[in-house]
Structure 1
Amino acid sequence: MEKRTLKDWIIATRPWSFPASFIPVLAIGAYLYYRYGTTSDAFHGWNLMLALPMMMLFQAGGNLLSDYSDYKKGVDLPGSLNGVRHIQSGKFTPKEIRIFGIILLSLAVFIGITLLFIAGFYLIWIGLAGMIMAFFYAYIKYHALGDLEILLCYALLPAIGTSYIALDKLHPSVIWICLPFGLLTVAILHANNTRDIQNDSRAKITTLPILIGGHISQWIYFFEVIIPYILIVLFIILKEIPLLSLITFLTLPMALKNLKQMMKANPNNEQELIGLDQTTAPLQLIFGILYTLSFIIMSII
């Protein structure tokens, strides 16, 4: 076993994926402050500061347990294109990755319990649902439900939870306000799974692209990337979000570039889809930051 540094342990959690977990809290928190917080003394901003590390710990722990399951299942083998190599390279043992994941999830649960006492025990069902899906993400992913779980874990549930911890009640509007960045988050996984159709089929697991086929998967990705921009325009027309939210369209060139790669690719040739998940991730990040900034700026001016 080679010597490991703190950096190695951090990299094993896949920190580049963390925008999927912190964007929901930031964006929905900023939206709630824009819509309700400026006229209410009951906006609990400090609760959001606890929610941010909790969400990232949940994601990091889930990533590690997923990597452990993928290794044991034979999904991640030498030559696979997903870039996860901390077990295959011998830097970490499978047991270490599993224990590390459990420790991080335990820390997330501790913060979650703290939030229950601060914000109220009506949050417990959201916490239980998130914990179950984090622990069993690999099993869910292997049965073609990974896309649905990502939408729940990194859009709908965080949006509902953020509404409760920020303003002590559910504002139903957050359920659709979270969809623009939520769909882009799902697109990251969908790009990954579309690329890995052959690899995952060899491992005898079933992802959504395997179930529906490569060509339909290309169109699913197309709609996951395009619909967020349509929703932005629709929400502005309905006066749910400010006109300034059109700044998210600054990411449209990135989106079109990704769509070009996906739609021109042969879905049976994984080489043509290399890197698409990695370029979808910054699209989600920048879109989410601009979305958040539009609410913050309009709350100030």
Structure 2
Amino acid sequence: MTPQEPSVAAFKNPLARYFAATRPAFLTASLMACLIGLAVTKLAGSSFDIMLALTTLLFAMLAHAAANVLNDYYDAQNGTDACNVERIFPFTGGSRFIQNGVLTPAQTRNFGFALLFGVALAGLWLMLRTDFQLAYIGLAGLFIGWAYSAPPFRLNSRGWGELCIVAGFLLIVVGADFVQRRDFSAAPFIAGLSYALLAANLLYINQFPDRTADMAAGKLHWVARLDVPQARWGYVLIVLLAYLWLIMSVALGGLPRSALAALLALPLSVKAAHILLRHASEPQQLGGAIKLTIAAMLLHGALLSLAILMNN
């Protein structure tokens, strides 16, 4: 059953309306990144503060929500979502809150910046409870969340979108570990990179249904820059990088052997890649591949977190 796009009638309650505008189902990606970071902390034997962990989770999910809302606003400004007729809702083409009149552009913009303000407050509280160096992680995350879509940077439009996603999710993993450890370590970077790459692959595959509209709006990410037969292999490349990193990290001692359990997500990535390779030029056939990409990302993150925790 195809999900219905948002409408004014469906969201008469203002709280429900604004909550849904954050695309809450997709915030699980940040939740999983936090869990990986916290698992790494436990593996290191660092002391664990549950209140700091919960605030870190709130911090990460607020940041993700702010990025989602601001992306909707700036995509409404450049016109890509309005002209996107090949979208696969709710995965591509934005939340449709502006296009369907549920929120005005001004309301969406103000809500996005209010969420960023909430992120700043949560980050400040965490910094005061831990160490000033947390500000580096927070400021980098805020910049990525804003500059991903906003002019003058428009990083995704310049082909930097996947790197932004990798960096953003790595910052969550590193930040969750830092808050507990109160110091920087290579361990969360090593543990989180494979997951961050799979998260970037979700952005990558989502750009195929959006490709025509994005090109018309000047959003020249790599799926738009390359011909479709070439662009589809980018998905395969990212999958290979993710799983090879996991295997190498275990082989070189950066992760425990049990972390190889995360390879159980590989068949989902392979099946998604197979669908994309066959139907890259038929955007409406990619819904299954997008769902498999989400499932592979979340399963990989869950298995990796559990495997690390089991070594404590």
TM-score (norm: length of structure 2): 0.87
Structure 1 residue 26 corresponds to structure 2 residue 40:
no
Count of residues paired in the alignment? 293
* 1:187 corresponds to which of 181, 198, 201: 201
Structure 1 residue 50 corresponds to structure 2 residue 55:
yes
Aligned to 2:77: 72
Structure 1 residue 104 corresponds to structure 2 residue 115:
yes
Spell out, residue by residue over 1:229-254, the C-alpha distance to the aligned partner (whole angstroms, 9 max, x if none).
33332222222222222222322332
**Among the aligned pairs, what percent are the same residue?**
26
Aligned to 1:162: 176
Give the stretch that moved more between structures: 193-202 or 112-121.
Answer: 193-202
Aligned to 2:4: none
2:218 match: secondary structure: coil
Give the stretch that moved more between structures: 118-127 or 235-244.
Answer: 235-244
Aligned to 1:148: 163
Aligned to 1:204: 218
The 2-side partners of 1:105 and 1:279 are apart by 30
Preserved contact between residue 45 and residue 166 of structure 1 (Cα < 8 Å):
no
Spell out, residue by residue over 1:113-139, the C-alpha distance to the aligned partner (whole angstroms, 9 max, x if none).
111111111121221111122122212
Shift of 1:45: 4.6
Which runs of 5 or more residues in structure 1 are unaligned?
Answer: none
Preserved contact between residue 258 and residue 307 of structure 2 (Cα < 8 Å):
yes
Preserved contact between residue 154 and residue 182 of structure 1 (Cα < 8 Å):
yes
Preserved contact between residue 77 and residue 88 of structure 1 (Cα < 8 Å):
yes
RMSD of equivalent CA atoms:
1.9
**After TM superposition, which residue ranges in structure 1, 4 or more long, deviate above 6 angstroms?**
none
Report 1:9-20 matches (<5 A).
9-20=18-29
Preserved contact between residue 65 and residue 135 of structure 1 (Cα < 8 Å):
yes
Aligned to 1:81: 87
2:133 match: secondary structure: helix
Aligned to 1:4: 12
* 2:306 corresponds to which of 289, 293, 298: 293
Give the aligned residue type for 2:37: I
1:81 match: secondary structure: coil
Give the aligned residue type for 1:81: R
1:201 match: secondary structure: helix
The 2-side partners of 1:44 and 1:172 are apart by 21
The 1-side partners of 2:165 and 2:234 are apart by 15
Aligned to 2:5: none
1:166 match: secondary structure: helix
Give the aligned residue type for 2:272: N
Structure 1 residue 251 corresponds to structure 2 residue 257:
no
TM-score (norm: length of structure 1): 0.90
Give the aligned residue type for 2:122: I
2:220 match: secondary structure: coil
Give the stretch that moved more between structures: 142-151 or 81-90.
Answer: 81-90
Aligned to 1:220: 234
The 1-side partners of 2:299 and 2:230 are apart by 27
Preserved contact between residue 22 and residue 66 of structure 2 (Cα < 8 Å):
yes
Preserved contact between residue 192 and residue 276 of structure 1 (Cα < 8 Å):
no
Preserved contact between residue 273 and residue 289 of structure 2 (Cα < 8 Å):
no
Aligned to 2:286: 273
Preserved contact between residue 17 and residue 281 of structure 1 (Cα < 8 Å):
no
Preserved contact between residue 233 and residue 246 of structure 1 (Cα < 8 Å):
yes
The 1-side partners of 2:156 and 2:139 are apart by 19
User: Structure 1 residues 55, 259: closer, same or farther in 2, change over 3 A?
Assistant: same
The 2-side partners of 1:282 and 1:11 are apart by 21
Spell out, residue by residue over 1:278-300, the C-alpha distance to the aligned partner (whole angstroms, 9 max, x if none).
4312221121011111112222x
Which runs of 5 or more residues in structure 2 are unaligned?
Answer: 1-7, 90-94
Spell out, residue by residue over 1:52-97, the C-alpha distance to the aligned partner (whole angstroms, 9 max, x if none).
1111001101101110111121100262405222111111111111
The 2-side partners of 1:43 and 1:238 are apart by 27
Spell out, residue by residue over 1:251-274, the C-alpha distance to the aligned partner (whole angstroms, 9 max, x if none).
233222101111112x34322334
* 1:230 corresponds to which of 237, 244, 261: 244
Give the stretch that moved more between structures: 112-121 or 227-236.
Answer: 227-236
Preserved contact between residue 147 and residue 208 of structure 1 (Cα < 8 Å):
no
Shift of 1:112: 0.3
User: Structure 1 residues 98, 82: closer, same or farther in 2, change over 3 A?
Assistant: farther
The 1-side partners of 2:65 and 2:291 are apart by 17
1:178 match: secondary structure: helix
The 2-side partners of 1:228 and 1:136 are apart by 25
